[in-house]
Structure 1
Amino acid sequence: MKLAVVGGGSTYTPELIDGFARLRDTLPIEELVLVDPAADRLELVSGLARRIFAKQDHAGKITTTTDIDAGVADADAVLLQLRVGGQAARNQDETWPLECGCVGQETTGAGGLAKALRTVPVVLDIAERVRRTNPDAWIIDFTNPVGIVTRALLQAGHKAVGLCNVAIGFQRKFARLLEVEPGQVHLDHVGLNHLSWELGVRLGGPDGENVLPKLLAEHGDTIADDLHMPRQIIDRLGVVPSYYLRYLYAHDEVVRELGTKPSRAAEVAAMEKELLEMYGDPALDEKPELLAKRGGAFYSEAAVDLAASLLGDGGSPVQVVNTYNNGTLPFLADDAVIEVQARVGRDGATPLAVPALDPLYAGLIGHVTAYEDLALEAALRGGRDRVFKALLAHPLIGQYEYAEGLTDRLIAHNREHLAWA
């Protein structure tokens, strides 16, 4: 089995490598190709990757290349983990929206749209290269904004599934609180990427006992603290929202907070510098503890599970992924991309049935899906008017004065990445 990781020079990659090494029986990789245009980073990351494989007695070969076509040739699956523009672009996404009084964040709101506009054309170009070189390969997208990027891939006819670590993070957290194995915890996870709720937590599988009320009663303070939301809000909802919902549920509070501290991008950039220095140490043969603060917890385990199911019989039969709606949420178009539990196999992902949703959740899902429709149109076709309409449609913005100011700033800060600007 051969896998290619496009964006293999990311400081995330050792987390992925560690999972590949530990879970080699689930996903028996014979060759892993790390693809990245940054040859200097690629050398540091691949050196550590080989040492991790060697320490854990993984027989697989790790190769590197800056050539996408060469890297994806003959791969069974291609994993995308890109950040177009790097941390510098992310820093802009997290700062200029604050000038208009709006949340600055890299995957939602105006910053998330900027990232989508930069990213979608690049990802589609890579996917076309995969199709020309190796049309049978699966594309696993971990590149944000995952929902919009996955929809772009699916609409273009690619064999693609989107992946996020939010659900597996909740699964692992709830398993610790319940003192059970993670595999025993099934989430009633419903929504869109970075706009989701855990409506139930079931033991043993989709039809198991719902222990969410017990979790909230016994561990509500811990859960609320992790989400940075008041306990009484969690109790009133009776569900566990993704921590990304705080940008909507406490928008003004978050804007005030963000205006008083360095951006997350600035923190991550400093962390990445330190990590890359660590990766260059020939004595280091495991992922450093600092990497846990970088983000992406359990990403490797989710990626292994998904790849194993798409390529064979090694993964879990049911997983939370991003894929076409196809009637699952009846108030959305079939070609909307949703994030729910799905049956995953060699033919792709098929969402499980979802009960009728409370309007509190369905309304917001419909609203953000409409924004994503417009965001994808702007990413594919460009134009100031399309950017403005997408911003106006987003629930974090929604006022024409804000949308006008944000449109000007978005284009000014991203001109080098926008072919039409």
Structure 2
Amino acid sequence: MRNPDGVMFLVGWAPLSRAEIGFQVPLFSSGADDLIFVQSCHNGRISGFRQLVEFGEANCSDKFPEVCARLGGDQIVVYRSSKGELLAGTIPQLRIDLVADQEVMRSENAGLALQLSHVLGDEEAVIATRKIVHQRGLIENSPFSSRMYMSSVARQVAWRQIERSLENPEEIVQFRQNLSAFHYYVSESGEVLFEQVSDQIMLDNQIVESARTSAQSYVTKVFGESGSPYQKSENEELASIYRQLRNLSRAGRQETRLALLMQLILESPHRTFKIFDLYTDRGQYTRQVIALLRSVFQRPDFELTPDAIEEVIAAYVPRFYSMSYYGNRGVLLEKLAKNLSPYKKIVRAVYRKFESSRSRDVLENSVAIRRALAGNSQLRKLMLDDETVDANQNSISRQDAQNPLRAQGEK
């Protein structure tokens, strides 16, 4: 039903999921009728077009009249970027935009970052992102969940290896239709095992075993011998970071989690980006602050030292305050003062913001904030001096009210 030249024109796209950012399903038409097609691809090349009978939430548009697809040509992708832009074209054409989003998504959406790495053919980024996903699982979930993730990676590697070993196109199609029959999984000891769960399709034992060996090598390379860098990390400092991230992720308020995260990077500045990569917060505000700090720390001229990090956090306290949800600002100042009390510059910045704020929730939390600020000895003296000045000013005001002539004479 397509035109003689095998050329299809991009006429729309359909969402793969409800996510606002990510890849869409490209929809094509020959231009000769109203039929809609999707592309079939193999190794980044278009191997055919299949008619789409039902396509639900499709977006039909002539936004990309210059984008067309051809049998044997490069795969066409449609992608909505983190900036909200809709992009369409071949992967080489969109590479710059996709690479930019790959870096952004690594901290915000590791799943999408993994998709982007696969599409870009960036195997190093695939491995790095899988390590991050696995390590986050160790922080947020159980060792069982972590092993399930490793098993899913092992299956993908094994299945890809099997498909490469098959030469007959019909065998490849049949294998794809029966992937679940070839069950690869990771045991508690970290060994990749194979189980044939169906006899609908049988393959040569050498192909199956070769796939298992490839999966074992890949799992060991990505996740280590034990499959659990948290359980058997040779680096005690890194093991401590895993434990602290797991503990802080359980804190109820995101202001507490943010303050604890800042404390952690101040204590381990050389692990800052590792911490940012490993940790993803469930609160939007905390994710925004982390993204802001990451952008500052990534500057070429910035040196990751405790003093430099402390200065940045102190300088950005007013920014953190304004970014915070109204009603939570008092809690934010309290948590920063409480958890970062050893860091004088930060506490002073919190104190200055506290003194200048007229926000109702800050005033309601003033007792708790002052109590937290009092943990710093130098600041305690400053607060006492301010309270003495306030008391003297109040005393003078009362005397002026009682003796208007005195106040007038002094003026």
Q: TM-score, normalised by structure 1?
A: 0.28
Which of 1 and 2 has higher RCO (CA within 8 Å, sep 6+)? 1
Larger radius of gyration: 2
